[in-house]
A and B are shown apart, each in its own frame.
Chain A
Amino acid sequence: MSNGSLRVGRVLRAGTRGFVIGCTVMQPDIPTFGSFVRADGLKPGSAIFGLIYDVSVEDDPFVRQFISADPPEEVLRDQRENRQVPIEVSVLAVGTSQGLGDETIRHCLPAQPPVTLDWLYQCTTEEIQAFTARFDYFRLVLDAREVPVDELLAASLRVAAVARPEGERETFLVEAGRDLVRLLAGDPVRLEGLLRRLRNL
């Protein structure tokens, strides 16, 4: 599965519910909040799909040295372009595919997490379309703890809508809204907030 997709970074820590990857500052297109990503599973050809729910830059005492100084241009460029600034990207696991001829995407937690230092890739447009052909992953997101759930759902739907031809986007979002109505029927205030976000996409 590790085709020519854009690499986001390498897995630092992993569990079945999600994983954290490390990447450098100058990654050309650091995937943003709500992006779909994919890591290789342990079985050949298998994959774990996830949604980015947090991007954080760790404190860097070395950079602090230069905040009040006037460092030369070479240092500024070194800090910006070369330093292994520890950017951590947190991913919520939302699906898997088995590989070995079975390319069906299942919206469930993976049986095993990805291996440390494995690459994490940004999903291609085709993968996003295939993954969001159904909305079973909503339940995994809604049940996630310590994740900005509503914002994440809205952001992922925005990404999924953009991955579709313009003429199909509205239909796609209406279908997603229907699933949310079913899942959040008991929480009308929250549902209204989410649907309002979808209307504004």
Chain B
Amino acid sequence: MTLELSRLTGEVQTMGEALAARERRRADLVALARRWLAEYADQGERLRHPARTASAAIPTDEPLDAVHPLPAIPERFTVIAADGSQIQPDRHGVALYHLINVGSMVYRHGSGEAPEAYSQPAMGYTEADLYEDGLLVAGNLLDVRRDLAEITRLADLSAVEAPGPTGSVRPGRTVALVDGTLILWVLENRSEEWKREKVMAYLDQLRRIRKSGAAVAAFTSRPRRGEVTKLLYLASVNGDENRASQETNPLEHLPDRAIFHDLPAGARSALFISPSSINHDYYVPAGHGVYFFYLNLAEKEHDPVIARIEAPAWVVAAPELLASIHGAVVAQARITGDYPYALTRADELAYVSGREREALTEMVTTALLRAGVRSAPSPKAYYKSLTRRGRRKYPQ
């Protein structure tokens, strides 16, 4: 072992005590946040503009402290989930390529049928696949491609599964679920034109899902965002953005979910609009403006499990669609206890294990050999593969 755990014993103990103390202080902050939530519950309209400027959660017409109980969950409905994983191109590897693997599942509640499970790998190895805008497709560029592949898969499955405008194919509504966020995360240093092209491609898929008649939502487990806490602080300084930016926000490191731990089992919070600039620059004008709410997935008399759910404007504007994502997410999460079953399975179907990566490398090496190309990992990669598997000893 090169990590000397014995040298960390004292530090880990101190860390434990510090975290425990922070938890105790956090209880006071949660009480303050909840007091503000009740106190400024009806000031949404007044706070809307400054919230946008301050990148805080943007209030809707609902009171900030609104609580919506779990709607009746229908017997029959369908949940489609998609998730992706990738292998980054490795310039030290036997060949330069990337891989995106999208796992997806169609789960028909109340049908008694086996869900449909899919895994779709796609390799990129041509010049056109590997380079974009003069850059190697890796990091955020590959993340964007993976996100697009996920939402495209959801749109494809929704087109097959959802009732559509012409009539019902399957009984009940269809809810399409993606893990994380609906807002395509594109690095700021990309050109405006490139960013627009990618976001528009994503919005195109949201449009396809809408056309299919399905509802769509994104699910975040244990969310860490602090947009509602920022809004509450803004409210406490009378919506004065300048003051809010100059003074210290006591709730700065408190995640929103801490405030909503008191939601009743299955209930959701008020709706808010995401303050993300991409949301306002692209999603809102296209009619897909992203809203979010917090949701307690737990059953009665169980510890609360708070998730963040995002949905586009056309879902939250239709009460039956909004109720369908609320009910579907809770029903799905309660199968496992606290996370949607179909998303767990989509993740599993997308996941590429270390052993599979090695096997793929071996396949690529063999294919190159059969084609008459001798290839090998770089010396750096080769020696790493030796030292990271073998015996290790830290210096005395």
Which residue numbers of A lie inside 8 Å of B, CB to CB?
12, 62, 65, 71-75, 77-78, 80-82, 84, 115-117
B355 surroundings in chain A (CB, below 8 A): 12
- Give the shortest distance, in Å, between B106 (CB) and chain A (any CB): 10
- Give the shortest distance, in Å, between B87 (CB) and chain A (any CB): 15
Question: Is the pair A74, B111 in contact by a Cβ cutoff of 8 Å?
Answer: yes
A77 surroundings in chain B (CB, below 8 A): 112-115
Whether, in the assembled complex, B363 has its beta carbon less than 8 Å from a beta carbon of chain A, the answer is yes
Whether, in the assembled complex, B233 has its beta carbon less than 8 Å from a beta carbon of chain A, the answer is no
Q: A78 and B335 in contact (CB under 8 A), knowing A12-B355, A115-B363, A115-B366?
A: no
Please list 12 pairs of residues, one from A and one from B, whose beta carbons are closer than 8 Å in the complex, sorted by A's number: A71-B335, A73-B112, A74-B107, A75-B335, A77-B113, A77-B114, A80-B114, A84-B349, A116-B362, A116-B363, A117-B359, A117-B362
Whether, in the assembled complex, B375 has its beta carbon less than 8 Å from a beta carbon of chain A, the answer is no
Query: For residue B361, which residue of chain A has the nearest CB?
Result: A116
Question: Is the pair B335, A115 in contact by a Cβ cutoff of 8 Å?
Answer: no
Q: How far is B341's CA from A72's CA once the two chains are assembled, in angstroms?
A: 11
Shortest 6 CB-CB distances between A and B: which pairs? A77-B114, A82-B117, A73-B112, A81-B114, A116-B359, A78-B115
Question: Is the pair A65, B336 in contact by a Cβ cutoff of 8 Å?
Answer: yes
Q: How far is B107's CA from A75's CA once the two chains are assembled, in angstroms?
A: 9
B359 surroundings in chain A (CB, below 8 A): 12, 116-117
Whether, in the assembled complex, B345 has its beta carbon less than 8 Å from a beta carbon of chain A, the answer is yes
A82 surroundings in chain B (CB, below 8 A): 114-115, 117, 345
Counted as pairs of residues, one from A and one from B, with CB atoms less than 8 Å apart, the total is 48
Whether, in the assembled complex, B109 has its beta carbon less than 8 Å from a beta carbon of chain A, the answer is yes
B121 surroundings in chain A (CB, below 8 A): none
Within 8 Å by CB of A78, from B114, B362, B363, B366, lies B114
Q: How far is B108's CA from A81's CA once the two chains are assembled, in angstroms?
A: 15
- Of residues 353 to 396 in B, which have CB atoms within 8 Å of A's CB atoms? 355, 358-359, 362-363, 366
B366 surroundings in chain A (CB, below 8 A): 115
Whether, in the assembled complex, B250 has its beta carbon less than 8 Å from a beta carbon of chain A, the answer is no
- Interface SS majority for chain B: helix
Q: How far is B367's CA from A116's CA once the two chains are assembled, in angstroms?
A: 12
Question: Is the pair A72, B335 in contact by a Cβ cutoff of 8 Å?
Answer: yes
- Give the shortest distance, in Å, between B385 (CB) and chain A (any CB): 16
A71 surroundings in chain B (CB, below 8 A): 335
Question: Is the pair B337, A74 in contact by a Cβ cutoff of 8 Å?
Answer: no
Question: Is the pair B115, A74 in contact by a Cβ cutoff of 8 Å?
Answer: yes
- Give the shortest distance, in Å, between A64 (CB) and chain B (any CB): 12
Q: How far is B114's CA from A80's CA once the two chains are assembled, in angstroms?
A: 9
Q: How far is B335's CA from A186's CA once the two chains are assembled, in angstroms?
A: 61
Query: For residue B111, which residue of chain A has the nearest CB?
Result: A74
Question: Is the pair B341, A75 in contact by a Cβ cutoff of 8 Å?
Answer: yes
A73 surroundings in chain B (CB, below 8 A): 112
Query: For residue A77, which residue of chain B has the nearest CB?
Result: B114
Q: How far is B189's CA from A19's CA once the two chains are assembled, in angstroms?
A: 49
Beyond A74-B108, A74-B112, A78-B114, 6 additional contacts (C-beta under 8 Å) are A65-B337, A72-B109, A74-B115, A78-B107, A81-B114, A116-B359
Query: For residue A42, which residue of chain B has the nearest CB?
Result: B366
Q: How far is B358's CA from A12's CA once the two chains are assembled, in angstroms?
A: 10
- Of residues 186 to 234 in B, which have CB atoms within 8 Å of A's CB atoms? none
- What string of 1s and 0s marks CB contacts (under 8 Å) between B110-131 and chain A? 0111110100000000000000
- Give the shortest distance, in Å, between B170 (CB) and chain A (any CB): 13
Q: How far is B219's CA from A2's CA once the two chains are assembled, in angstroms?
A: 45
Q: How far is B354's CA from A166's CA once the two chains are assembled, in angstroms?
A: 49
A80 surroundings in chain B (CB, below 8 A): 114
- Give the shortest distance, in Å, between B116 (CB) and chain A (any CB): 8
Query: For residue B109, which residue of chain A has the nearest CB?
Result: A74
Question: Is the pair A74, B113 in contact by a Cβ cutoff of 8 Å?
Answer: yes
Question: Is the pair A78, B337 in contact by a Cβ cutoff of 8 Å?
Answer: no
B113 surroundings in chain A (CB, below 8 A): 74, 77
Q: How far is B112's CA from A72's CA once the two chains are assembled, in angstroms?
A: 8
B358 surroundings in chain A (CB, below 8 A): 116
- Give the shortest distance, in Å, between A13 (CB) and chain B (any CB): 9
Query: For residue B345, which residue of chain A has the nearest CB?
Result: A78
Most buried by A among B105, B358, B359: B359
Query: For residue B116, which residue of chain A has the nearest CB?
Result: A82
Q: How far is B41's CA from A68's CA once the two chains are assembled, in angstroms?
A: 42
Q: A74 and B114 in contact (CB under 8 A), knowing A115-B362, A115-B363, A116-B362?
A: yes
A62 surroundings in chain B (CB, below 8 A): 344, 348
- Of residues 240 to 296 in B, which have CB atoms within 8 Å of A's CB atoms? none
- Give the shortest distance, in Å, between A24 (CB) and chain B (any CB): 11
A12 surroundings in chain B (CB, below 8 A): 355, 359
A81 surroundings in chain B (CB, below 8 A): 114
B345 surroundings in chain A (CB, below 8 A): 78, 82
- Of residues 294 to 322 in B, which have CB atoms within 8 Å of A's CB atoms? none
B107 surroundings in chain A (CB, below 8 A): 74, 78
B111 surroundings in chain A (CB, below 8 A): 74
B348 surroundings in chain A (CB, below 8 A): 62, 84
Query: For residue B358, which residue of chain A has the nearest CB?
Result: A116
Query: For residue B360, which residue of chain A has the nearest CB?
Result: A117
A116 surroundings in chain B (CB, below 8 A): 358-359, 362-363
